[in-house]
Structure 1
Amino acid sequence: MSDEASVGAPGSAEDKNWGIIMDVQVEVTALLGTCKVAMRDVLELKPGTILKLEQRATDPIVICLNGRAVAHGEVVVVDECFGIKITKLCE
């Protein structure tokens, strides 16, 4: 059997190694956009204040795992909650 065929086969050593990390929790963050604001403007923030982000509404959302970008996506609504549809994985 070739090495390629045995990689990750159920019951293999590699399969057992992956099992060790499958329950590890990671923080998933969706970055909608950013902007730069002067501190004087930050101190004046109040309910109703609108901050204009640098990204356009049609730009993809950046999805990060533990602070590192891993994918891009678009905002969707699922059962009255926001979600992210993955459109591209980062290389």
Structure 2
Amino acid sequence: MEEPPDDVLLALLNIPLDISVEVGSRRITLEELFSLKPSSIIVLDKMLSDPVDIKVNGRKIAEGELVVVNDRFGVKITKIVSPDERIKKIKG
């Protein structure tokens, strides 16, 4: 099979992707949703020491630990799927 030209590869590598970090989740009722207010606390399903999920376009590709970098949140990657597996997950 023929390899794509360099300009095609470069264009593919420059496609923007959304990355998100999921700290935890919780299922709530509609009643609980409507009772939320500014002082409400939602307890999530993960412990503070649990790894967070790192997702690209909504698909989990890694796990990590929350860190602080110059007063901003960051994530230190602790586990990540192989590059081939990442491509499969991005494709869907």
- After TM superposition, the runs of 4+ consecutive aligned structure 1 residues lying more than 3 A away are none
SS at structure 1 position matched to 2:63 = strand
Question: Is this contact kept in 2: 1:31–1:62, CA < 8 A?
Answer: yes
Larger Rg: 1
Q: 2:66 aligned to 59, 70, 75, which one?
A: 75
SS at structure 1 position matched to 2:66 = strand
Is 2:31 the counterpart of 1:40?
yes
List gaps (5 residues or longer) in structure 2: 83-92
Question: Is this contact kept in 2: 1:72–1:90, CA < 8 A?
Answer: no
> In angstroms, what is the RMSD of aligned CA positions?
1.5
Greater helix content:
2
SS at structure 1 position matched to 2:9 = helix
What is the TM-score when the length of structure 2 is the normalising length? Answer: 0.79
Deviation at 1:90, TM superposition (A): 2.9
